[in-house]
Amino acid sequence: MKYAVRYYTKTGNTQKLAKAIADELGVEALSIREPVNDYVDYLFLGNSYYAFNIDPEVKYFVRSLDKTKVGKIVNFGSAAMLNSTYKKVKAEADKVGIPMAEEEFHCKGEFKGIHKGKPDENDCMAAAEFAKKFKE
């Protein structure tokens, strides 16, 4: 299996999870500013809610993906208030014909003092365990 990890973060929270997932999969966690140039079976995409939606950069990134180079998108992220971004990411993935894995990982993230210290070491370990499910 081939993997890629891309993430978008404003606070660094989702980046922590991306690094834990990438370490488990033996790849590098990269910003969504880095394109997916080679075929991957699973693209782990980290993101969060900003003003009750996913960031326009995430939407643009998903729309820019080549469906011949991505088998499935695996959603993950952190957020202080709202939980899953799955439906928002799936709506964008559907537009370009890339399927989403049904499983996703989400945890709380610190924002303006709410959920202080999150994601923490336990959250990162849980993200790595989640990624293990996708290994051969």
Cβ contacts of 17 within 8 Å, gap of 6 or more: 7, 46, 76, 77, 78, 105, 107, 119, 123, 124, 127
pLDDT of residue 26: 97
Measured CA distances, 110 to 13, 29, 37, 65, 133 (Å) = 7, 20, 32, 30, 26
SS3 93: helix
Q: 90-121 burial, b if ≥16 CB within 10 A, otherwise e?
A: bebbeeeebebbeebbbbbbbbeeebeebbee
Q: Which one-letter amino acid corresponds to residue 76?
A: F
How many independent structural domains does the chain possess?
Answer: 1
Residues in the chain: 136
**Full residue range of the structural domain in which residue 126 is found:** 3-132
Domain harbouring 30, CATH code: 3.40.50.360
Q: Which pLDDT belongs to residue 108? A: 77
Tokens of 121: 């070491």
For the chain, 136 residues long, the average pLDDT of each consecutive 10-residue run is 94 92 98 97 88 82 97 90 83 97 86 72 96 90
